[in-house]
Amino acid sequence: MITLTLAEIAEIVGGQPHDIPDPAATVSGPVVIDSRAVEQGSLFVAFAGERVDGHDYAQRAVEAGAAAVLATRPVGVPAIVVDDVVAALGALARTVVERLGTTVVALTGSAGKTSTKDLIAQLLERKGPTVFPAGNLNNEIGLPLTALRATEKTEHLVLEMGARYIGDIRYLTGLVPPRIGLVLNVGTAHIGEFGGREQIAIAKGEMVESLPEDGLAVLNADDPLVRAMTSRTKARVLLFGEAAEADVRGENVRLTDDGRPAFTLHTPTGCSDVTMRLYGEHHVSNALAAAAVAHELGLSADEIAEALSEAGTLSRWRMEVTERPDGVTFVNDAYNANPESMRAALRALVAMGKGRRTWAVLGPMAELGDASLAEHDAVGRLAVRLNVSKLVAVGGREASWLQLGAYNEGSWGEESVHVSDAQAAVDLLRSELRAGDVVLVKASRSAGLEQVAQALLENSTEGEVTGR
């Protein structure tokens, strides 16, 4: 973060100093919410959660080097006390970004946000210092924490914005207004909360409504609900996709023998060939979105293609590919799941597993509401249609719907099975995997299926899945 005095911070957030001997003392380190992450000169933000109250760790944070604590009550150490810590954190982030004048790029979408954010960051780092979130820090806490990592040297700030309800993205863009706003797609993630794709489109479109007239809206030409957002913005529009009308376009899209996407990138300034290190055709759309942002910020088609061809996975458990010494390949995509990402992952598994035995270890998809039964059934059926060798449905009711869909599509006997939990899946796979198999592990985050891949990648064959 830029250096600010405690008096300046108190004024920005509308807080009252408590136990601060020197208001001119400065915060020069990172803003953190975990006392274990404190560095010299940090600002420790104390949140009162359901299980842990950060105020109880204020003393420890100051002893570790924090200059002060942002809190809702006096804590016996230097503190700035506010009524609402979340609102104060957001106010601080907005002021810091306004003072810096860095280019803010924000993106949203139902699927692919984190992978696209990682691609954008790797492209823009070729132009200059770039700050972006680790993982998917995309809510009212994670977004300002990311923004506050920006310094005077930061040229680009890339922010991911998530939404569960209409108004969420409007709130986030109010905290840190973007100049470039990107909408990837409108799918069915969180459809249980929103009530339908049209409502999701209303929420995602808040991104482009926030843009200034001299800003840029980057929209998916292949998604009708996204493309229609052109009418909701005052900003200039740049379309990406495989459609002929896209300004940044992918042609001759294909997969290599091992399942990596390749295509010819067309931009308004030229074209160049791309062969990605990532797995799955769904990354083509992510790459084209990132290319559109990079084009706007001055990279040539050749520079973009080179960067996309070299880009890797920066966030854990998202198509994370690991091969065991015995030749079994694990694809750990267990960070999250929705119907769109499930379908993409299954297709990637099949492409990677040509000539090999493929396993789809799938768990529940959360927050689908009344659509849950139909969507789980459809994923089970797709696994059969794609000729996945083995489907292992892990968990309770929703997982049973996955297996039932596969059964009804024609998967009988040992081709599909329903097991109760992650440990049962580990036990099954440990007894049946053989050299050359390819295993996809995917579910919503709450299912904790990353533990399946982790347990089976351990050197010891005695390891068990730990409880959550």
Distances from the Cα of 189 to the Cα of 88, 112, 444, 449, angstroms: 30, 11, 10, 19
Distances from the Cα of 312 to the Cα of 58, 177, 301, angstroms: 38, 28, 19
Identify residue 363 by its one-letter amino acid code: G
Q: Which residue has the tokens 């609102």?
A: 87
CA distance linking residue 174 with residue 124, whole number of Å: 24
The residues that bridge with 419 in the sheet, in sequence order, are 394
**Helix 168-175 and helix 85-100, axial crossing angle in degrees, nearest 10:** 50
The three-class DSSP label of residue 442 is strand
Closest CA to 346 of 265, 441, 412: 441
For residue 31, count other CB atoms closer than 10 A to its CB: 24
Report DSSP state, residue 449: T
DSSP strand pairing (248-255 vs 261-267): antiparallel
List helix spans (H) across 82-179.
85-100, 113-124, 142-147, 168-175
Closest CA to 407 of 399, 419, 422, 417: 417
Residue-level pLDDT at 464: 44
The three-class DSSP label of residue 329 is strand
Residue-wise DSSP of 163-191: -SSTTHHHHHHHHS--SEEEE----STTH
Identify residue 20 by its one-letter amino acid code: I
pLDDT tens by residue, 134-150? 877 889 999 999 999 99
The phi, psi pair for 277, rounded to 5°, reads -85, -20
Identify residue 448 by its one-letter amino acid code: G
Nearest 10 degrees: Cα torsion 145, 147, 149, 152: -160
- pTM comes to 0.86
358-362 β-sheet, strand order: 320-323, 329-332, 438-442, 358-362, 390-394, 416-419
User: Which residues of the chain have a pLDDT value below 70?
Assistant: 188-195, 317, 412-413, 459-468
The phi, psi pair for 332, rounded to 5°, reads -90, 100
CA distance linking residue 423 with residue 444, whole number of Å: 17
Q: Which residue has the tokens 């992918």?
A: 250
Closest CA to 428 of 392, 389, 384: 392
Closest CA to 367 of 193, 139, 161, 187: 193
CA distance linking residue 159 with residue 136, whole number of Å: 9
Distances from the Cα of 306 to the Cα of 212, 259, 263, angstroms: 31, 19, 12
CA distance linking residue 117 with residue 134, whole number of Å: 10
Residue-level pLDDT at 467: 38
CA distance linking residue 267 with residue 218, whole number of Å: 13
